[in-house]
Amino acid sequence: MTLQDGVRCTVAAGVATVTFERPDRNNAMDLAMERRYGTLLRQLEADPAVRAIVVTGAGRSFCPGADLDLLSGITGENAGDAEGDAMVSHVQAAAFIGKPVIAAINGGCAGLGFVIACTADVRFAVEGAKFTTAFARRGLIAEYGLAHLLPRLIGRGRAMDLLLSGRTFIAEAALEYGLVEEVHLAEDLVPAAQAYAAELATYSAPRSMAVMKRQIREEADLTLEESGARAARLMIESFGHPELKEGLTSWAERRAPEFPPYTPLV
């Protein structure tokens, strides 16, 4: 169990649990924490012992956003010194690594934390957890690609509502909107997310999940015909990889598959 720059990581049974843990700032992120989060996710992508990742927060907050001390004194002239383009890649890391990432939203989720939740592949939330995009109420804009992510998750109209108003809503509404997939009691949230991640780690082929993440990310703007043609090429390619044989053999033998470890896609 390691804690570095406000981010803790543990690994068990193929599942890494990444926890935001900065209690003096209620898990608000400074630049070191952002860097650590993105760097850690890429390290976990390269770790053959890890097949799925859960991201959560310590205490009663998931992540309320950027540490507001970061914004004090920033102007248009010095903003580039405070936060460069590299920070975008750290915040968006979950969307681009090949392994599945499940957000277990245990409490307050706002601003930058809201973006991080949206970059995850699947989202669980605790009952009553409070969400807000917050940006419009701070004089900011939809940061870190949220204007791309949010409409694809919940539709343009609802995304506009949540971005323009910056209003607070709770987990039960997030479930209704389609922003989260499940809502759990506090004591059940992380175990449920870890159990889901463990199921992926056990039964889903790492390469298949990585390819599907890329398909979802890249094919949203393709026509149906283009998506189908691309899928046909990818399907033929998959016939040459060992995952198919193991998937069929394990099914026939009524056992858990023994898929090879994840390797980065080319």
pLDDT for the residue numbered 80: 55
**85 phi and psi angles, rounded to 5 deg:** -60, -25
**pLDDT confidence of residue 82:** 47
pLDDT in tens, 118-167: 999 999 999 999 999 999 999 999 999 999 999 999 999 999 999 999 99
Region of residue 265 (phi > 0: left; psi between -120 and 50: alpha; otherwise: beta): beta
Is it the case that residue 191 has pLDDT exceeding 70? yes
Q: In terms of Cα–Cα distance, which of 241, 217, 212, 210 is closest to 99?
A: 210
Q: What is the pLDDT of residues 220-246, one digit of tens each?
A: 889 999 999 999 999 999 999 999 999
Cα–Cα distances (Å) from 2 to 19, 69, 192, 250, 266, in that order, read 10, 26, 22, 36, 31
CB 220 within 8 A of CB 152: yes
- Let me know how long the chain is: 266
pLDDT digits (tens, 9 = 90+) for 194-226: 999 999 999 999 999 999 999 999 998 899 999
Regarding predicted confidence, which is higher, 144 or 73? Answer: 144
pLDDT classification of 69: cutoffs 50, 70, 90: confident
* CA 189/CA 239 separation, integer angstroms: 37
Answer whether residue 84 shows pLDDT above 80. no
Report the alpha-carbon distance of residue 21 to residue 29 in Å, rounded.
10
What pLDDT was estimated at residue 85?
72
Confidence label for 72 from pLDDT (cuts 50, 70 and 90): low
pLDDT given at position 79: 55
pLDDT computed for residue 29 by the predictor: 95
pTM: 0.93
The per-residue pLDDT for 71 is 65
Report residue 180's pLDDT band, with 50, 70 and 90 as the boundaries: very high
Distance (Å, rounded) from C-alpha 158 to C-alpha 152? 10
pLDDT over threshold 70, residue 74: no
Domain over 2-201 is classified CATH 3.90.226.10: yes
> For the residues 102-109, what does the mean pLDDT come to?
98
